[in-house]
Structure 1
């Protein structure tokens, strides 16, 4: 990071993170603006920082996929519970578990 066009921004980010950690504060909140400045610089020097930026994008895509999967699973679980509740209210006996 220190070899590219964003050396100063990176050093500023490192200093901010160190100070926030020493103070026991929230690094993300304390260093939000410094991080944004560093990221903007990295985008401006995309050719040099491409491996880092692409890894970051892949990580974000994975996180989004995990969120979407969790939401889908939650909706499926909620739908199954609702159907069981509706069956119970209608007097439909529960299905026996095949493993039992």
Structure 2
């Protein structure tokens, strides 16, 4: 995928402070916006699961980033299009891996985090 095909913009936020309180419990995370990176995001699969009166929507959300993008497991991402219209909100990064033999980009797997 070429850089021109990365038509979305991802706002990367990261928990910068990993402090503890007086009882040595972790403080609530403080996410700080790092940068906005070009990407291409999509929903690969979507299915409804009904089990004993519970209904769940399972969605596999993925994105491609440039190979030098600063994105890590644990980051939070909001994805917009070029005009700033929201596409995906509150995504937590599950995995980051290289994609392809020539490693021209990174593939990221997300989960929704609300």
The alignment's TM-score, normalised by the length of structure 1, stands at 0.21
The structure whose residues are more often strand, as a share, is 2
Larger Rg: 1
The alignment's TM-score, normalised by the length of structure 2, stands at 0.19
Greater RCO (CA < 8 Å, at least 6 residues apart)? 2
